[in-house]
Amino acid sequence: MQMRKKGEWLEITIPHNWVGYSIESVLKNELHVPKKLLHQIRMSKGAKQNGKEVPWSTALQQGDKLQVLLFQLEELGVITTYMDIEVLYEDDHVLVVNKPAGMNVHPNEEGQTNTLANGVAYHYQSQGQEVKVRHIHRLDQDTTGAVVFAKHPLAVAIMDRLLEQRSIKRTYLALVHGKLKQKKGVINERIGKDRHHPSRRRVSPTGQEAVTNYEVLNYMSKNDLSLVKVQLDTGRTHQIRVHLSHLGHPLYGDSMYGSKVKGSHQALHAAKVTFPHPISEEVIECVAPFIDEQDLFPGSVQDYL
């Protein structure tokens, strides 16, 4: 399927398998536009056939150009801060960047700068993109690796749905203390807030469902450390840190959850993210190289995926 951005419009050349579909059917069932956004597009006359306003019941023919108003100019929403962000993937709809340690994904208070979102705002501005900064998921301040941003409301709505459906797959690499009993396993323990600590989480029968899959890649007897590959079925706050600590194997450098080592940050890296593209549905796979973990993880990310 051919599609391209033309100013504020997404132009789609109708493929043979969409012949006879109405404009409304394409928007609802092929592009998965949610109800609220569908209403906005209707009100702004934001769908055209070959550049003309026609009824949404109009049947489309092969080679027709369907234009959809998707890329309206927006405020960035955060202060721009100059930083060198590492872009792993970018097109008109999605941006994936590699987050360093010691940085929040987004501001937690008005006027805050030096978060990843501030750097993304600078990146958009320097590329001449008037796009609101919207993250699809978060990483802890001291966790490094791939973070996904969406560039327009439709991409946001679809990516949020994919996240809910667990179609966005994230693979992490963690360095933990000790030797795990099992080479592979699933940790299925609910996670809730810790009453005694405002930001800490703990395994709790009344908490939210949390499922973590792990596989031990390497045990380093010299340091009594294990390198573990982790995939999440759910995305709870501090999930990997809580679950591995619960097993008796806290992350190296994670003093909040039991590590006695005073590292600069916990050894946790979001190494890979895979997702169906929100518009084309093509599978996108992004691998995030280690940024500042060379002293923690031996080798490169590719060695472990």
Phi-psi region of 234 (alpha: psi -120 to 50; beta: other; left: phi over 0): beta
Residue of 140, 254, 292, 303 marked catalytic: 140
140 flagged as catalytic: yes
Tell me how far apart the alpha carbons of residues 51 and 65 are, in angstroms, rounded to a whole number: 8
Q: Is 231 exposed, middle or buried (0-12, 13-18, 19+ CB in 10 A)?
A: middle
Cα 165–Cα 171–Cα 175 angle in degrees, nearest 5: 140
Q: How far is CA 237 from CA 15, 83, 139, 199, 230, in A?
A: 42, 26, 9, 9, 15
169 CB-near residues (< 8 Å, 6+ apart): 231, 272, 273, 274, 275
Q: Are strands 47-49 and 65-69 parallel, antiparallel or unpaired?
A: antiparallel
Q: How far is CA 46 from CA 23, 156, 161, in A?
A: 11, 18, 23
Q: Which are the catalytic amino acids?
A: 140
